[in-house]
Amino acid sequence: MYYKPIIYIVPPEDEGMLLKTVLHNRLGMSRKLLSRLKLTEKGITLNGERCYTTVKVKAGDRIEARMEEEESEDILPQDLPLSILYEDEQLLIVNKEAGMIVHPTHGHYVGTVANAVVHYWRERGETFRFRPVHRLDQETSGVLAIAKNPYAHQQISEQMSAHTVTKEYAAVVHGVIAADSGTLTGPIDRDPEQPHVRIVTPDGYPAVTHYEVMARYPAHTLVKLRLETGRTHQIRVHMKHLGHPLVGDKMYGLPPEESPPFPRQALHAMRLGFDHPLTKQRLTVEAPLPADLEELLKLVSGGE
């Protein structure tokens, strides 16, 4: 069985191009994906017929690329709450709850976003491999994008590498940030004494975080953060380095007795934007602040 084909009608300006050139330059297909499609019986067709990718195309030719259906056989379907923000034939974008791990790992085989998504697809009679295009920490809530096929995953991954994906977060941090906005550029790497912890160090990997104050409170700040790079724990590390660690951050934050009672790091992925893998139009998806962060804001503002 195959997914719905990706279709391209050759325009006059592409006449005479090699088929593989059209697939690569116009549809952005990687060489790896093209090789995979060529090994599939109906992977690539020209006007309904299989052909070599070295054939020259003509204006009006109909190119179809088909990917075989896949299934996440190693993921147990589980009926869990799933908040869907956007879905089409290429993508599923959900609002991840805080506390949920994205993908099953050793010791966490159930209760993940993957378990919930696979169950959702099974109930609809659909078979896709679970392919998140990015990750969120277990305690971070918000927008999470999942590709439904290798092409969609490749297209968004390339945008990630080119830093053209917009990733914006909301965080509640300790202290009142004086500047209305700024950019943090401290390189990040593992702490040699605690390999699971990241630190800002001159020998680290480049990392860029832009911040903008959204609201100030007596002893805290609600800040919007936009990532240019995607280092592990980047926001948490950069905000600690700035002197404003996240509320509730057990690894990089203040001791519990110095922090408002909050069971997780106060971080929410509120906006994700990228070019749609098929239409190439800009797609921006937002997730509102969750109830627990709204309650935290009331608490730090002095409200009931």
Q: Average model confidence (pLDDT) for the chain?
A: 93
Residue 283, pLDDT > 60, answer yes
Token pair belonging to 179: 């500047």
CA distance 288 to 215: 16
**Percentage of residues in the chain having pLDDT higher than 90:** 79
Can 137 be counted among the known catalytic residues? yes
Q: What is the mean pLDDT of residues 281-285?
A: 97
Write down the CATH superfamily of domain 6-65.
Answer: RNA-binding S4 domain (3.10.290.10)
Token pair belonging to 86: 């956007």
Question: pTM value?
Answer: 0.88
3.20.20.140, 3.30.2350.10, 3.40.1710.10, 3.30.870.10: CATH of 166-270+291-300: 3.30.2350.10
Residue 289 DSSP symbol: P
Report pLDDT for 217: 96
Domain edges within the chain: 6-65, 166-270+291-300
Query: pLDDT per residue over 151-203, tens digit each?
Result: 999 999 999 989 899 999 999 999 999 999 999 999 999 999 999 999 999 99
Residue 17 DSSP symbol: -
The Cα-based distances of 31 to 34, 189, 215, 273 in angstroms read: 5, 32, 47, 26
Report pLDDT for 69: 79
| Residue 3: CB atoms within 10 Å | 21
b/e code 134-165 from CB counts within 10 Å (16+ = b): bebbbbbbbbbbbbbbbbbbbbbbebeeeeeb
φ/ψ of residue 57, rounded to 5? -95, 160
Q: Which of 14, 61, 137, 249 is catalytic?
A: 137
Decide which of 70 and 12 is more confident: 12
Report pLDDT for 230: 87
CA distance 13 to 32: 26
Residue 304, pLDDT > 80, answer no
Query: pLDDT per residue over 16-40, tens digit each?
Result: 999 999 998 998 888 888 888 888 8
Query: pLDDT per residue over 221-246, tens digit each?
Result: 999 999 998 899 999 999 999 999 99
Query: Identity (one letter) of the amino acid at 113?
Result: V
CA distance 7 to 96: 32
